[in-house]
Amino acid sequence: MKLSDDSIKPLDGITLVTGGAGFIGSHIVDTLISNELKVRVLDNLSTGNLTNLINSKSSKNFHFVKKDLSDFESLNDVLKNIKTVFHLAANPEVRTGYDHPEVSFKANVQNTFHLLEKIRRSGVETIAFASTAAVYGEPEILPTPEDHGSLFPISPYGATKLACEALISSYCHNYGINGLIFRFANIVGARSNHGVIWDFVNKLKKDQKKLEVLGDGKQSKSYLHVSDCVEGFFFCLSKMKKRTEIFNIGNEDKTDVLTIANIVYNCMGLKDVKISTTGGVDGGRGWKGDVKLMHLDISKLKKLGWSPKLSSNSAIELATKEIL
């Protein structure tokens, strides 16, 4: 993807991408490298993989550091000469939060605090943070705009992301840093190693005749292909007007889990798949903390000139083919 001059302007010097070997992070790294920008990637490879960076790691502008954000003292060297930080390092799995909430706390809140503490003493000018629609919890308004309140996340994952947003806002206002916060819908596409499509594909590879769906199958959410997500991410770089700016990045429509199941098995060339639902918990959710209805209002970005190219179902179809 060719970046506009307005998007490139804030990226002079070296850009740090935390979690840059992960799903979304690696696509951001590829975009930066393809635009001949200098990139430093920080990843502990707990969920990321160096194979995700195969398109970028041979570039002279690419530098990889295998470290964890909890390694506090090493962050001094990692942040040297960095002006912009894309912070995507996190525990990406929503479902683990119920049994192990400490994982999300340490990976998300604690490590973000460590990063911010070092950033405020460095020359970093901007931090762009990958948050989530889960911070809204179960809002009364659908589609949900950025200024919706109050925010009551229902999962430890959503709660930790909201805590990170608050920390970033406070550091930006106190220490003169610019902050971009992106609240993502469900992002799908190549290199994803979790989520509903990945789950369905792997189940059907084991048994092509039946597919178990968590919950009642009526969970309805917005899905965005990673190519649209990354394009929206960089589009926002040139649109900041406040010290801290929040953008929803999602789709104009939504789809339900049973529809996704049908799209996946059709893409796999399967027929007569028996789909069964577990019934779920708390009124048909797939798991504790699963938001049953999610749809972001993206009118703020649309007014600025951005909109996704693929619908939710088209994104799911393409992502399935990429994962296969």
Which letter does DSSP use for residue 305 in this model? T
Q: Helices marked H in the chain — which ranges?
A: 5-8, 23-34, 75-78, 101-104, 111-119, 156-175, 196-206, 226-235, 257-267, 299-304, 312-323
C-alpha span between 263 and 307 (Å, rounded): 23
Considering 98, 136, 157, 223, which one is annotated as catalytic? 157
Based on the residue annotation, tell me whether 175 is a catalytic residue of this protein: no
| List of long-range contacts for 115-121, beta carbons under 8 Å, 24+ apart | 115/18, 115/69, 115/75, 115/85, 115/87, 116/167, 116/168, 116/171, 117/72, 118/72, 118/75, 118/76, 118/79, 119/79, 119/85, 119/171, 119/175, 119/177, 120/171, 120/174, 120/175, 120/177
Residues 6+ apart with CB under 8 A from 242: none
Contact, 294 vs 133, CB < 8 A?
Answer: yes
Residues 6+ apart with CB under 8 A from 267: 317, 320, 321, 324
3-class DSSP state of 291: coil
Instruction: Tell me the catalytic residues.
Output: 157
